[in-house]
């Protein structure tokens, strides 16, 4: 009870430690989603619009990668970035950049798989019209992405939800260093084991609030899509 009250106090008083942790969490996860979108959406579009041997296998693997365990991604990135690893010289381990890389790897398959599905469905719907209207290939891809805008935004939000809520990958590659790589999820894990339940609960409240907002945005996007686009 006491912890609950002081947790709410921390949130309402915008405690500087808490605010800094939330700020870093959002920065890392939003950067990761942006990177993942730049990689995943074009890859998904390419996969939707090309035919090659082994394509179906690539789609199955991609769909499977949506459920990639965060700790395994963390381990993988750790091995890549550790001092003796292939990218060790960059000195990125235990930095926010390392956390962005790990979350990008987690989110990119989600965006690629959902973009592939969305764009392929739209392609089947519009390909005859594109041919009849004599639309150039680059313009076709731009049109498909725009026509899929509501679904793609929903996919981005799903990717952000996954990134913001995961702890396994960033605690390994970030190291949960106070004031540098400490995020909401890693702080909750640490503070709970240390017994500082007030900060952990306060961060939990903020995290749940963010998840609710993200889902509300996804819902609004879908409703807007139904109303304006009839999807």
Partner 1 sequence: MRAPDSDLPIVFDGVTVKAGAVTILDGISLRFEPGAPTVLIGPNGAGKTTLLRAAMGLFPPAAGRITWGGRDQVPPTRRAFVFQRPAMLRRSASGNVRYALASAGVARADRAVRARDLLERVGLAGLADRPARRLSGGEQQRLAIARALARNPTVLFLDEPTASLDPASTKTMEDLIAAITASGVKVVMTTHDLAEARRLAGEVVLLHRGRVLEAGPADSFFTAPKTDEARRFTAGELLV
Which residues contribute to the site for partner 1 (CB under 8 A)? 125-126, 128-129, 131-135, 139, 143, 147, 149-150, 225, 227-231
Q: Which two tokens stand for residue 89?
A: 């010289």
**Residue 29 C-beta: closest distance to partner 1, Å:** 29
Taking the C-alpha atoms of residue 45 and residue 112, their distance in angstroms, rounded to an integer, is 8
CB of 208 to partner 1, least distance (A): 33
- 192 sits in which H/E element: helix 184-194
Structure tokens belonging to residue 154? 């929903």
Angle at 220 between CA 158 and CA 230, to 5 degrees: 100
Cβ atoms within 10 A of the Cβ of 74, count? 25
For residue 146 the two structure tokens come to 């725009």
Could you tell me the smallest distance in angstroms from the CB atom of residue 63 to partner 1?
25
Residue 131 Cβ vs partner 1, minimum distance, rounded to whole Å: 5
Least separation in angstroms between CB 102 and partner 1: 35
Helix ranges, 82-183 (H): 96-133, 137-147, 149-165, 168-174
48 vs 102 by CB, closer to partner 1: 48
Residue 183 in contact with residue 25, Cβ under 8 Å? yes
Judged by beta carbon, residue 85 or residue 225, the one nearer partner 1 is 225
- Closest to partner 1 by CB, 147 or 191: 147
User: Could you tell me if 170 and 155 are in contact, meaning their C-beta atoms sit under 8 angstroms apart?
Assistant: no
Residue in the block written with tokens 């965060």: 70
- Whichever of 27 and 231 has its CB closer to partner 1, that residue is 231
Of 97 and 120, which CB lies nearer to partner 1 in the complex structure? Answer: 120
CB of 68 to partner 1, least distance (A): 31
- Residue (116 or 140) nearer to partner 1, CB: 140
* Residue 65: burial class (beta carbons within 10 Å; 0-12, 13-18, 19+): middle
């Amino acid at each position: 009870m006491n912890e609950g009250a002081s947790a709410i106090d921390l949130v309402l008083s915008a405690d500087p430690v808490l605010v800094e942790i939330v700020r870093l969490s959002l920065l890392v996860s939003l950067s990761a989603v942006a990177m993942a979108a730049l990689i995943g959406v074009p890859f998904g579009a390419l996969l939707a619009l090309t035919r090659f041997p082994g394509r179906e296998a690539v789609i199955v693997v991609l769909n499977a990668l949506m459920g990639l365990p965060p700790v395994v991604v963390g381990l993988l990135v750790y091995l890549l970035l550790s001092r003796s690893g292939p990218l060790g010289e960059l000195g990125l381990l235990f930095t926010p950049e390392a956390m962005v890389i790990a979350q990008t790897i987690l989110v990119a398959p989600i965006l690629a798989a959902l973009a592939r599905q969305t764009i392929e469905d739209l392609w089947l719907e519009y390909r005859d019209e594109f041919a009849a209207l004599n639309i150039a290939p680059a313009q076709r891809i731009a049109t498909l992405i725009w026509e899929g805008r509501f679904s793609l935004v929903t996919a981005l939000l799903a990717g952000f939800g996954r990134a913001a809520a995961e702890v396994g990958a960033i605690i390994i590659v970030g190291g949960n260093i106070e004031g540098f790589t400490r995020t909401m999820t890693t702080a909750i894990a640490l503070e709970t084991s240390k017994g500082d339940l007030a900060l952990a609960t306060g961060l939990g409240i903020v995290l749940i609030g963010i998840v609710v907002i993200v889902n509300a945005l996804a819902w609004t996007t879908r409703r807007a899509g139904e109303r304006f686009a009839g999807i």
